[in-house]
Amino acid sequence: MKALCWQGKTDVRVETVDDPKILNPRDAIVKITRTAICGSDLHLYDGYIPTMEPGDILGHEFMGEVVEVGPEVKNLRSGDRVVVPFTIACGNCYYCKHDLWSLCDNSNPNAWIAEKMYGFSGSGLFGYSHMLGGYAGGQAQYARVPFADVGPIKISSDLRDEQVLFLSDIFPTGYMAAENCDITPGDVIAIWGCGPVGQFAIRSAFLLGAEKVIAIDRFPERLSMARDAGAEILNYSETDDIVEELKWKTGGRGPDACIDAVGMEAHGHGLAAAYDNTKQAMRVSFDRPNVLRQAIQACCKGGVVSIPGVYGGFLDKVPFGASFGKALTMKMGQTHVHRYLQPLLNRIQNGEIDPSFVVTHRMSLEEAPQAYKTFRDKQQHCIKVVLDPWDETKAA
Amino acid sequence: MTIITSSKNYAHPELSRSSDSSKLITAASVLGGTALAAYGITRRSWGGAALAVAGAGLALYGVNDARKPYSGKVRVGYTIGKSPEEVYAYVRNSEHWPKFLQGLAMESSGNDSLKLTFGEAAGFKVVSEAEITDEESGKFIAWSSAAGPVQHRGVVHFNPAPGKRGTEISVAFEFKAPAGPVARAVAMFVGWDPEQLVRESLRHLKELLEAGEIPTASGQPVGSRGFRGAALRVLYRETPAEDATKTRMAGD
């Protein structure tokens, strides 16, 4: 089959590889009909995530048709149309049973690597480095899905692929980010980053009852998409001091919750950014916490800082004193996708939201190397790329 | 409560005392170091003084090394979401041992006797005989090594975990292998660390008992690895997809 393989920093290639096989009794094989490129894939592309090896297959947002099931999978059959969550979870450990699926104890074959870094390992993920399982990802024509009796959700309605594909990652991620803000009526939410996760966070915040959402970015098409959702937009490249600007927009109180939907590759300008960039280039620190600093500084007293943005290692110069002094709550982590699959599918089926709004580019898997570059550099007003692994007509 | 960890049939000296390590290396260090020191002193110069210090250091290293066996104590705890009785029953059944034990193969050779084989996969087969010296169903199993160059003894406890979390399984043991520096070098080369092997074994045990299978990414499709990638394939315990068969148990 064809698959997109990581071959080094800013080097991804479509290669012909073996078809996946059933390896464990709870596996299933899915023929992928649509797959997407995630913002966190760009951290892999730019070489910031350790334990990647040449040949690793990328991709963790995918859906398709079941073609084979292992002997212990009783709820799925060949032909079922499924969306696959990007976190792999066993369903029977303490964490899965407590609805904390992305913290599964039993789904990372390389847990010892994550334990060395973090003390304990979370769940395995598709296509996201050997530290997080070394699982082959879904930017391919087929994928092997472990614990298929617990993960994939069956789609029996005639919703289009693009309407349900994002249940795999970005819709639950944005939704969990908004849910973590503990929104009560009248709340004002500030969201840094109007990429796909930010876009879903904006819409989810409104679904959860926020009164006002302030969306922060600098790319016109992303701000425009945010405005379409009803958010008030803030272009940070035209603002001297975002913290002051947010105070002004909230009657001097600050936003009730701040969402960092940017993560470790935050842009910035000025001295702080130069400091971060240098340290990251020297690999003295992994992450650039520009947005996190602003979010902490801007947040109102007693508010919540909700962090769906991915961080990998150690941060420097984070205003923890401000966080303590204002008694902030911080909520973060990989999305517990399994928790949200059915509730969000219900919302889509009820017509409350059509997730396909976020797609700007539709390409074939063959064009994926170019797609990564387009997505990373935000060329052609790119916001979200969806790939068709079976489209033979458009070769790179 | 006293748990018996001394074998009925074999008497060990204290495990933490020194034993014979590689005599050749230590002899070379001591002799070579002394010779170097003597030479340095006779030179009567600053360079000579430096050599003398280096020589003395080498001799001291040799002497210390001679006294250090490859030994240690290991303590690993793990929580499994099943009752202590269930976990005990699973662990006590010798048919399950190949499924979860990592880095060692263990067989029951009748009554309470065990045969442990280390390192066969790395081509360095070491056999150790052991016996279960004490046990209480659902509570603990204690063992001690009998014959063989590698000495070890320890105890596995099965305690109820707080709340409804199941069982806290804790493994504590001490071990000693001969040829201290050589054993350490070999262990580092093949990636043995007794504590890590115990931890991986307990992890596999938990995965089998809770999830019904050991997660694996071994045998899945992969693109071209290149030379370095092929070498690193060993580190991540991968096999190419074409070698994977449905009946292979993950974690082999």
**Predicted confidence (pLDDT) per residue in B101-156, tens digit:** 988 889 998 888 898 887 766 666 778 889 999 999 999 999 999 877 788 999 99
More confident residue, B252 or B193: B193
Determine whether the interchain pair A57/B241 forms a contact, defined as Cβ–Cβ distance below 8 Å. no
For chain A, 396 residues long, the average pLDDT of each consecutive 10-residue run is 95 96 96 96 91 94 97 96 98 97 97 92 96 96 98 95 97 98 97 97 98 96 97 94 96 97 76 70 70 96 96 87 98 97 97 97 96 94 96 66
User: Residue A314 and residue A289: Cα distance in Å, rounded?
Assistant: 10
State which residue of chain A sits closest to B248, comparing Cα positions. Answer: A23
Determine whether the interchain pair B211/A92 forms a contact, defined as Cβ–Cβ distance below 8 Å. yes
Is A56 exposed, middle or buried, given 0-12, 13-18 or 19+ CB atoms closer than 10 A? buried
Nearest to A57 among B221, B232, B240 (CB): B221
pLDDT band at B54, cuts 50/70/90? confident
The full DSSP string for B207-224 is HHHHHSS----TT-----
More confident residue, B3 or B112: B112
A residues 145..174 contacting B (CB < 8 A): 146-147
Determine whether the interchain pair A91/B211 forms a contact, defined as Cβ–Cβ distance below 8 Å. yes
> In B, what residues contact A, Cβ < 8 A?
79, 81, 165, 196, 199-200, 203, 206-207, 210-226, 228-229, 232, 236-238, 240-242, 244, 246, 248, 250-251
Backbone phi, psi, residue A387, to 5°: -110, 145
A residues 42..61 contacting B (CB < 8 A): 53-57
B85 and B173 inside one domain: yes
Determine whether the interchain pair B215/A146 forms a contact, defined as Cβ–Cβ distance below 8 Å. yes
B124 and B203 inside one domain: yes
- Do the domain assignments include residue B18? no
Alpha-carbon gap: B41 to the closest alpha carbon of chain A (Å): 45
B81 neighbourhood in chain A, CB within 8 Å? 92-94, 97
- Give Cα B5 distance to the centre of its chain: 19
B233 and B139 inside one domain: no
- Do the domain assignments include residue B32? yes
Q: Is the pLDDT of residue B246 over 60?
A: no
pLDDT tens digit sequence for A220-238: 999 999 999 999 999 999 9
The secondary structure element, H or E, covering residue B117 is strand B113-118
- Contact by Cβ (8 Å): A293, A322: no
| Paired tokens of B85 | 């009785």
A97 neighbourhood in chain B, CB within 8 Å? 81
A53 neighbourhood in chain B, CB within 8 Å? 225, 229, 232, 236
B176 and B97 inside one domain: yes
What count of other Cβ atoms lies within 10 Å of the Cβ of residue B38?
12
Domain count, chain B: 3
pLDDT band at B72, cuts 50/70/90? confident
Determine whether the interchain pair A7/B215 forms a contact, defined as Cβ–Cβ distance below 8 Å. no
**Residue A135 carries which DSSP code?**
B
Buried b (16+ CB within 10 A) or exposed e, A269-307: eeebeebbeebbeeeebbbbbbbbbbbbbbbbeebbbbb
The full DSSP string for A51-85 is S--TTPBP--EEEEEEEEE-TT--S--TT-EEEE-
pLDDT of amino acid B74: 92
Nearest to A53 among B165, B232, B244 (CB): B232
Q: Is the pLDDT of residue B20 over 90?
A: no
pLDDT of amino acid A323: 97
Backbone phi, psi, residue A320, to 5°: -70, -25
Domain extent, residue B226, equals 216-252
Task: Answer whether A3 touches B (CB < 8 Å).
Answer: yes
Nearest to B220 among A91, A108, A144 (CB): A144
The full DSSP string for A2-63 is EEEEEEETTEEEEEE-PPP---STT-EEEEEEEEE--HHHHHHHTT-SSS--TTPBP--EEE
pLDDT band at B17, cuts 50/70/90? very low
More confident residue, A136 or B197: A136
B140 and B153 inside one domain: yes
- Do the domain assignments include residue B243? yes
- Do the domain assignments include residue B15? no
Mean predicted confidence (pLDDT) in B231-243 = 66
User: Residue A218 and residue B163: Cα distance in Å, rounded?
Assistant: 50
- Do the domain assignments include residue B7? no
B200 and B138 inside one domain: yes
- Contact by Cβ (8 Å): B202, B171: yes
Question: Residue B171 sits in a domain of what CATH number?
Answer: 3.30.530.20
Poorest-confidence range of A255-259, B11-15, B162-166?
Answer: B11-15
User: Residue B36 and residue B55: Cα distance in Å, rounded?
Assistant: 5
| Probe site for chain B from A1, A18, A56, A97 (most B CB atoms < 10 A) | A18
Amino acid (one-letter) located at B206: K
B190 and B232 inside one domain: no
Long-range contacts of residues B162-167, Cβ cutoff 8 Å, at least 24 apart: B165/A94, B165/B79, B165/B81, B166/B79, B166/B80, B166/B81, B166/B82, B166/B83, B166/B87, B167/B79, B167/B80, B167/B81, B167/B82, B167/B83, B167/B84, B167/B86, B167/B87
B187 and B237 inside one domain: no
ipTM of the complex: 0.91
Determine whether the interchain pair B223/A93 forms a contact, defined as Cβ–Cβ distance below 8 Å. no
Is A324 exposed, middle or buried, given 0-12, 13-18 or 19+ CB atoms closer than 10 A? exposed
User: Residue B159 and residue B78: Cα distance in Å, rounded?
Assistant: 10
pLDDT of amino acid B8: 61
The candidate with the shortest Cα–Cα distance to A188, out of A174, A202, A168, A169, is A202
User: Residue B29 and residue B65: Cα distance in Å, rounded?
Assistant: 9
Q: Is the pLDDT of residue B76 over 50?
A: yes
Is A340 exposed, middle or buried, given 0-12, 13-18 or 19+ CB atoms closer than 10 A? buried
A residues 308..337 contacting B (CB < 8 A): none
B42 and B78 inside one domain: no
Q: Is the pLDDT of residue B250 over 50?
A: no
Amino acid (one-letter) located at B8: K
pLDDT band at B251, cuts 50/70/90? very low
User: Residue A287 and residue A270: Cα distance in Å, rounded?
Assistant: 17
Q: Is the pLDDT of residue B167 over 80?
A: yes
User: Residue B194 and residue B174: Cα distance in Å, rounded?
Assistant: 10
- Contact by Cβ (8 Å): A347, A16: no
- Do the domain assignments include residue B196? yes
The residue to which tokens 């006590």 are assigned? B92
More confident residue, B23 or B196: B196
B90 and B197 inside one domain: yes
Considering the entire predicted model, what is its pTM? Answer: 0.86
B28 and B109 inside one domain: no
Three-class SS state of B116: strand
What count of other Cβ atoms lies within 10 Å of the Cβ of residue B123?
7
Determine whether the interchain pair A110/B196 forms a contact, defined as Cβ–Cβ distance below 8 Å. no
User: Residue A202 and residue A165: Cα distance in Å, rounded?
Assistant: 19
Residues in chain B: 252
- Do the domain assignments include residue B111? yes
pLDDT band at B225, cuts 50/70/90? confident
Distance in Å from the first CA to the final CA of chain B: 38
Determine whether the interchain pair B211/A20 forms a contact, defined as Cβ–Cβ distance below 8 Å. no
- Do the domain assignments include residue B154? yes
B103 and B133 inside one domain: yes
The CA R_g of chain B, rounded to the nearest whole Å, is: 23
In chain A, what are the domains? 2-168+336-388 (3.90.180.10), 171-332 (3.40.50.720)
Helix crossing, B194-211 with B84-92: angle to 10°? 110
User: Residue B69 and residue B248: Cα distance in Å, rounded?
Assistant: 38
